[in-house]
Chain A
Amino acid sequence: MNFDLDEDQQLLKAAAERFVADSGGGDLLLRRAARMEPGGFSATNWARLAESGVLGLAVSAENGGLGQGTVEIAIVMEALGRGLAPEPVLDVGIIAAGLIDSPENAAQHKSLLQDLIRGNTLVSIGHSEREARHSLSWVGTSARPDGETLRLDGCKIAVMAGGGAQHFVVSARLSGAPGDADGIGLFLVPAEATGLERHPYRLADGSLAAELTLRDVKIPAGSQLAGGFSTLKTVAATARLAAAAEMLGVMGLLFDNTLNYVKTRQQFGQPLGNFQVIQHRMTDAYVQLEQSRSHVMRAALAEGAAFAGAAAGAKAFVAEAALGLAHTAVQMHGGMGIADELAIGHGLKRIRVLALCFGDSASALDDYRCAA
């Protein structure tokens, strides 16, 4: 048994950390400026991520990606989390790319996937619906075949990075009723499709999401991607691991900043860290951080059939731990903790968003216990 990273993994980690450092990771002014760019993140950094291959990190080599495994995904996502990177690597590089990446899609959609990986086209996923709450299989949006075309109707919410996307992967129902696992299809819809109305809005982390209304949106039959609910579940498992790893990175940042703060901030003639209450709270935070790290490792190392359950469990565990740690970090900073000038609040807000990636903690916990 050995939990050390191998040489390639160490290089990857160093490269990811270098990216974060070079792209202004931790600089909140740059981050704010990036949020004001059209898609809600820095186009320059997106191009750099594309250049380094990160947008195709998990995409198979046949489809032009790096074909990396779960450990590598966790390494990169943790580094991005630690840098509070505003770029939607999770939503586009892991989730959207993951949904398109299959041998069956290679012939028809390889060029789109390559555009995505090269950073030329932004694709995001429209899956969640208001009626579903956090249920993965609750798809009410319909897809009706009509000759050589398909017609889509429905509404999608919280389409991550959807404010600036050029394409959406939309889940819609070909048959059955909402809640059925069978009958769900995945469809590529260009943002400018007639009948598609996009309402961009900001999430807590400052990212630009969208609500999509589809009214009789006509797309060619060839826009249907291979796979259905099982593809969604596979990608959701990877995304949950990635979200957990990113939260772990944010936790590390908040923890280190807070530890440093209580060591340097003086009240009553001594550092805050001299007070036993503070020592215990920091100790609790440290325990949560290490336990979360262990869960991310477990999930990243889980194989085959065990992976989905482990990823769901890791996400449920880490989300709760991360929120608790972020609340502690705010509290330990006193007034400073609530100011937007510090990374602390930004970390809390990012964690809030990540915590709902493919379901809340309860639904992730359900998937975890049902997998056992």
Chain B
Amino acid sequence: MDMSFSPADLAFRDEVRRFLADELPQRLRDGMNGTPSVFVEPEIGLEWQRILHARGWLATSWPVEAGGTGWSPVQRYIFEKECALADAPALSVLGLKLVGPVIARYGTPAQKARFLERILTGDDLWCQGYSEPGAGSDLANLKTRAVRQGDRYIINGSKIWTTHAHYADWMFCLARTDPDVKPQAGISFLLVPMKQKGITIRPIIGMAGDHEVNQVFLDDAEALVADRIGEEGQGWTIAKFLLENERGGSCAAPKLLADLQKLARLAASQPMAGSTLADDDAHGRRLARLRLEAEALETTELRILSDLAQGRSPGPQTSLVKLVASSLRQAVDELAVDSFGLDGLQLATERPLYGNESPEPIGSKPAQLAMPTYLNSRAWTIFGGSNEVQKNIIAKTVLGL
């Protein structure tokens, strides 16, 4: 057993550090730190994406032949960690981590040629059309109907909670192509252009005042049969492949640990009746407790990566990563709100909270970010399979209950 990085890994780490120091503009770091929503706006994320793409460091989870970095799992981890420590913008997962790998795995050569490069360049932005008003946790119950007519599908129905639909050029959409078979079997995975007459987007404003998600109405919207991924009826299998990518394979601990480190540093700047918050034992213990949890998560994530690196399929730990990471994210964001005392109560209505036009904060910029971040953070245990659903999966598939 050995928890240390190899000399080659350490050299890679130094290379990443140098790159971040040289190439990550302060404006983007401020943009990341000034983002209270779960997902970073394209304005910030895309610029960083293009810088990474130019360096060839973008598609960390793609096969090499599709433009992936070819990094070992440990290298991926090191990269994520250094990015978190440097306040690098979180990239949109929709194209890079969700639909990209799907197209790389299930797409035809023509589809790969058409879509993959444009995901990397950021020329196409994507959104995920899975959830519907009646189909959230019970995704297989989706009702959106796609009827084949010549070389295209005519699609009717509605998707909801669609993150960044208002920026997207394309939606990867689960639609029912065969209503007469068992629910999972009648679903197809379609790529639908967003800029068309049959698509209407209704913004849904979150409780912090951010516009991240939408309801999307498809009224005789059209998609080409040529833009279907996989076979008709294969949608569920593909959707599951994608969901597993969404839930596992992520490196959540580095960002959590970086944020906890920031909170620990910040405590010394928060006055507390003659001393500072750093002298408050209750606060210190709360921080320490969360750091313990985050460190355990880090090692769990590294155990998974180590399995992958040795060509073994990872054990049941993958199932608990999303569960632990999302709850921990919420606990860290709640601690942040509490750290700022009464200043933590402010909730600016203006957006964005970065850049020259952003509203004047009360106390400090981090204090201004705390409340909206905390409120938006309640979504972590809901999207991508809620915590209850994760627990059901673990109980059934891991514990055999």
Q: Contacts of A268 on B, CB cut-off 8 Å? A: 137-138, 141
Q: Contacts of B141 on A, CB cut-off 8 Å? A: 267-269
Of all chain A residues, the one with the shortest Cβ separation from B139 is A267
Report the Cα distance A338→B380, complex, angstroms. 10
Q: Contacts of B391 on A, CB cut-off 8 Å? A: 277
Number of residues on chain A facing chain B (CB within 8 A): 47
Contact of A338 among B138, B345, B379 (CB under 8 A): B379
The answer to whether A157 has its CB under 8 Å from any CB of chain B is yes
Asked whether B382 lies within 8 Å of A338 as measured between CB atoms, the reply is yes
Segment with Cβ contacts to A, from B20-28, B106-114, B336-344? B336-344
Q: Contacts of B131 on A, CB cut-off 8 Å? A: 335
The answer to whether A46 has its CB under 8 Å from any CB of chain B is no
Asked whether B363 lies within 8 Å of A130 as measured between CB atoms, the reply is yes
The answer to whether B378 has its CB under 8 Å from any CB of chain A is yes
Knowing A202-B346, A267-B136, A267-B141, the reply to whether A345 touches B273 (Cβ < 8 A) is no
Report the Cα distance A37→B205, complex, angstroms. 21
Segment with Cβ contacts to A, from B9-17, B93-101, B146-154, B206-214? B206-214
The answer to whether B311 has its CB under 8 Å from any CB of chain A is no
Most buried by A among B337, B387, B388: B388
Knowing A199-B362, A267-B136, the reply to whether A128 touches B342 (Cβ < 8 A) is yes
Asked whether A348 lies within 8 Å of B207 as measured between CB atoms, the reply is yes
The answer to whether A369 has its CB under 8 Å from any CB of chain B is no
The contact string, 1 if C-beta is below 8 Å from chain B, for chain A 172-202, is: 0000001100000000000000000001011
The contact string, 1 if C-beta is below 8 Å from chain A, for chain B 358-398, is: 00101100000001000110110111001110011000000
Most buried by B among A135, A204, A278, A340: A204
Report the Cα distance A267→B263, complex, angstroms. 39
Report the Cα distance A278→B386, complex, angstroms. 13
Asked whether B273 lies within 8 Å of A138 as measured between CB atoms, the reply is yes
Binding site for A on B (CB under 8 A): 131, 134, 136-138, 141, 160-161, 204-207, 209, 213, 270-274, 277, 282, 337-338, 341-343, 345-349, 360, 362-363, 371, 375-376, 378-379, 381-383, 386-388, 391-392
The 6 nearest A-B residue pairs measured at CB:
A345-B207, A135-B273, A158-B342, A267-B138, A133-B272, A131-B271
Binding site for B on A (CB under 8 A): 128, 130-135, 138, 157-158, 178-179, 199, 201-204, 206, 209, 211, 266-269, 275, 277-278, 327, 330-331, 334-335, 337-341, 344-346, 348-349, 352-353, 356, 360, 362
